[in-house]
Amino acid sequence: MIGGGEGAFIGAVHRIAAQIDNQYELVCGAFSSDAEKSRRSGQALGISNDRVYASYQELFERENLLPPAERVEVISIVTPNHLHFQPAKLALENGYHVILDKPMTFSLEEAIELKQIAGKSGRSFCLTHTYTGYPMIKEARHFIRSGQLGTIKKIYVEYPQGWLSTFEEGKDNKQAAWRTDPQKSGIAGAMGDIGTHAFNLAEYVSNLQVSKLCADINTVVEGRRLDDDGTVLLKFSNGASGMLLATQVAAGEENNLRIRVYGENGGIEWQQSDANTLQVKWLNKPAEVWRTGSAYLSSYAQHNTRTPAGHPEGYLEAFANLYRNFALTVKAGLEGRVPEEEWLDFPGAEEGVRGMAFIEHVIRSGQSAEKWTDFNI
């Protein structure tokens, strides 16, 4: 693991996600760019001292020297955005599989390059767009792909948070500080942090791609250096239209991701606060309530659920699904087996590049006086 030391949020989430299904063992790490902090973090995590490194460069140098059987196999990178590209590049080029937190990189250029590196490396690459790990999101995607809703017409995705409603970056809030710092986050704040999740979810569930967009991007809190709010009109490859809303200044909201997709015959609705339910609505029939753990669901939902209906799973299990599918895929590769289609269903470099393209386009559109900005990548 690179990053995720003391005080980090997402690093701990990654570790739990890796542990739940007993497919990973945490064997080494460079947990902080501060060598002493890295050491303390490694110790707290029970890692052998000789495999806690002072930097990611050292990690690769030293791990490479170990006999292959002892060497780490998969590298998780959970650093702020400006520290995604270099360690991911090094990892892939040194033959490690990579799990990388989103957004993929600091800039679109880096993302495109990293995708090429990943492609050439022959190694597996996963970008942790957590929400696509929810079983009912997978069900929604595969249900829509089945065509039962007819041609898709409307896609609404929204991601309201409220935790940046005040100037948190002035209050020693580490999570707020790097996310609102252009040197660490890149050109976008909320749009990179949560907008990319919403964008990824919309494309994943609808099986469509955004073709143009029109963005209203705002910095609501005074003194903030990056956007903390935005609403985006969307056009999709098949002519469907939609809307993406991502804000971190909806005071009183937690993390209320929600998606609705409508086709000619009906629609689906899912929201994270009721993650084990998929609402399926029909034009002239009663709406249905599809629930995780039910025998009537597709193999995609069932494969990504651990418990019977009525035993709720949540965010950590969604995250763990990415880790598990990645592990199953990597293992299949190591053992020369063809991975199942359900295992391969995790976000990768292509999704990463599109996410970075979203950031570039949405910020550019936000600054433009023209209504539509074509989405080209």
Q: Binders of its own copies among 228-247, rule CB under 8 A?
A: 229, 231, 233, 235, 241-243, 245, 247
Q: Which residues pair with 77 in a beta bridge?
A: 2, 100
Among 76, 161, 325, 329, binds its own copies (CB under 8 A): 161
Handedness of CA 301, 306, 309, 315 (dihedral sign): negative
**Residue 316 touches its own copies, criterion: CB under 8 A:** yes
**Residue 227 touches its own copies, criterion: CB under 8 A:** no
Among 286, 335, 336, 338, binds its own copies (CB under 8 A): 286
By C-beta, is 110 or 360 nearer to its own copies? 360
Sheet with strand 277-282: strands edge to edge: 277-282, 266-271, 258-263, 152-160, 241-247, 229-236, 210-218, 373-374
CB of 270 within 8 A of CB of 140? yes
Among 93, 94, 173, 312, binds its own copies (CB under 8 A): 312
Residue 116 C-beta: closest distance to its own copies, Å: 33
CB of 59 within 8 A of CB of 77? no
By C-beta, is 125 or 300 nearer to its own copies? 300
By C-beta, is 19 or 94 nearer to its own copies? 19
Residue 309 C-beta: closest distance to its own copies, Å: 4
**Residue 332 touches its own copies, criterion: CB under 8 A:** no
**Residue 338 touches its own copies, criterion: CB under 8 A:** no
By C-beta, is 52 or 280 nearer to its own copies? 280
Residue 250 C-beta: closest distance to its own copies, Å: 5
> Can you read off the two tokens belonging to residue 344?
């391969």
By C-beta, is 289 or 334 nearer to its own copies? 289
d(CA 134, CA 365): 31
Touching its own copies, residues 166-225 (CB under 8 A): 166, 214, 216, 218, 220
Among 289, 299, 337, 374, binds its own copies (CB under 8 A): 289
Stretch that binds its own copies, among 49-57, 135-143, 179-187, 268-276 (CB under 8 A): 268-276
Residue 115 C-beta: closest distance to its own copies, Å: 29
**Residue 307 touches its own copies, criterion: CB under 8 A:** yes
d(CA 267, CA 274): 17
**Residue 66 touches its own copies, criterion: CB under 8 A:** no
Ramachandran category for residue 147: left, alpha or beta (phi over 0 → left; psi -120 to 50 → alpha)? left
Q: Buried (b) or exposed (e) across 110-141, using 16+ Cβ within 10 A?
A: bbbebbebbeebebbbbbbbbbbbbbbbbbbb
By C-beta, is 83 or 155 nearer to its own copies? 155
Q: What angle do CA 137, 143, 145 make, to 5 degrees?
A: 105
> Can you read off the two tokens belonging to residue 10?
């997402």
By C-beta, is 338 or 369 nearer to its own copies? 369
Residue 144 C-beta: closest distance to its own copies, Å: 13
DSSP helix/strand/coil, 151: coil
The type of residue at 4 is: G
Task: Give alpha helix (H) positions in 163-286.
Answer: 174-179, 182-185, 190, 196-206
Touching its own copies, residues 26-55 (CB under 8 A): 26, 45-46
Residue 214 C-beta: closest distance to its own copies, Å: 6
11: Cβ contacts below 8 Å, ≥ 6 apart: 1, 3, 4, 5, 31, 78
Task: Count CB-CB contacts under 10 A for residue 104.
Answer: 32
DSSP helix/strand/coil, 363: helix
Among 309, 334, 337, 341, binds its own copies (CB under 8 A): 309
The count of residues interacting with its own copies (CB under 8 A) is 88
Residue 361 C-beta: closest distance to its own copies, Å: 14
d(CA 377, CA 361): 10
